[in-house]
Amino acid sequence: QICLSLVKLLFYLAHSPLGSIVLLDFQPRQFVMVDGNLKVTDMDDASTEELSCKEDNDCTLDFPTKSFPLKCSAAGKCEGINEKKNLFNAYRYFFTYLLPHSAPPALRPFLSDILNATGDLRYGINETVKAFEKVLHLYKSGLYLQKRPLLLKDYISLKGFRTVEGEDYKCWPSYSHLGCLLSVHSAEEAAAMCNSQSQCQSFIITQRRTWTGRPLALFQSSLTDLIPDANAVVYIKQSASSGKRL
């Protein structure tokens, strides 16, 4: 969410009515999340000036660990230097820390491609936005789940009940510090997640949603007290259903 919001912001800066805007003091502390969107808090160091040049050799974009040769345009300006500077700063301050973590395994190769392409400045901001939107579409639609074995058949479903939420085993990246609360596309994906966790014996799809509209599933290591709830379903591993409580 943070990275997608950032690239949309950089897309606007690259195509603003004032021209391409560069953030000269590009640091994480200069940004804040407002209603799920990343905002710049300080525009004092923003500039529309692009480096003047006479030849391509005048257009080297330097960073502490990398340098990039750029073209000198016919207008005597280093072509795309403001856009590329913003994008590489997004890569080194945000993408490298946020993109490799917590995505479903099937989506990680797509995020690695974005990471590598922005790190080498092979992608401009237009290509980067398209790549992020593709990953978001796959994530929201559940298309990344194709050709996976069906595991929900190994679970018993108890309709009209939910379990008591309490402190249980932890997992990463959980939305709750008390237990294992993860985003899922469907009960089928939740069953696959439960199977991959040795402690998990049951799960419930909660009514809570993430920013993409995906529901949160609560995974539990034991069958706690069941509470009547007309809108809920508890899914229990068949191997755990022979316990005395059930």
Say whether pLDDT at 242 is over 60: no
Residues 192-204 have pLDDT tens digits of 999 999 999 999 9
Same domain assignment for residues 4 and 112:
yes
- The Cα 196–Cα 90 span in angstroms is 33
> Which of 95, 126, 144 represents a domain boundary (last residue)?
144
Active-site pick, 25, 42, 58, 154: 25
The domain in which residue 60 lies consists of 1-144
Same domain assignment for residues 25 and 62:
yes
25 in catalytic set: yes
Same domain assignment for residues 126 and 186:
no
Same domain assignment for residues 68 and 109:
yes
Share of the chain above pLDDT 90, in %: 68
> Which of 95, 124, 144 represents a domain boundary (last residue)?
144
Query: In CATH, what number is assigned to the domain containing residue 7?
Result: 1.10.510.10
- Write a three-state SS string for the chain: CHHHHHHHHHHHHHCECCECCEECCCCHHHEEEECCEEEECCCCCEECCCCECCCHHHCEEECCCCEEECCECCCCEECCHHHHHHHHHHHHHHHHHHCCCCCCHHHHHHHHHHHHHHHCCCCCHHHHHHHHHHHHHHHHHCHHHCCCCCCHHHEEEEEEEEECCCCCCCCCCCCCCCCEEEECCCHHHHHHHHHHCCCCCEEEEEEEECCCCCEEEEEECCCCCEEEEEEEEEEEEHHHCCCCCC
Residue 163: pLDDT band with limits 50, 70, 90 = confident
Name the phi and psi angles at 58, rounded to 5.
Answer: -80, -5
Residue 246: pLDDT band with limits 50, 70, 90 = very low
Same domain assignment for residues 13 and 133:
yes
In degrees, rounded to 5, the angle at the alpha carbon of residue 107 between the alpha carbons of residues 213 and 146 is 80
pTM of the prediction?
0.85
Half-sphere exposure at residue 5, Cβ-oriented, CA atoms within 13 angstroms: 15
Query: In CATH, what number is assigned to the domain containing residue 201?
Result: 3.50.4.10
Same domain assignment for residues 132 and 182:
no
Residues 57-83 have pLDDT tens digits of 999 999 998 999 999 999 999 999 999
Same domain assignment for residues 58 and 157:
no
Same domain assignment for residues 81 and 180:
no
- The Cα 101–Cα 176 span in angstroms is 17
- Write a three-state SS string for 162-178: EECCCCCCCCCCCCCCC
Same domain assignment for residues 40 and 106:
yes
Same domain assignment for residues 171 and 208:
yes
Same domain assignment for residues 214 and 178:
yes
Total structural domains in the chain? 2
Residues 4-23 have pLDDT tens digits of 999 999 999 999 999 999 99
> Which of 76, 111, 144 represents a domain boundary (last residue)?
144
Say whether pLDDT at 243 is over 70: no
Same domain assignment for residues 131 and 72:
yes
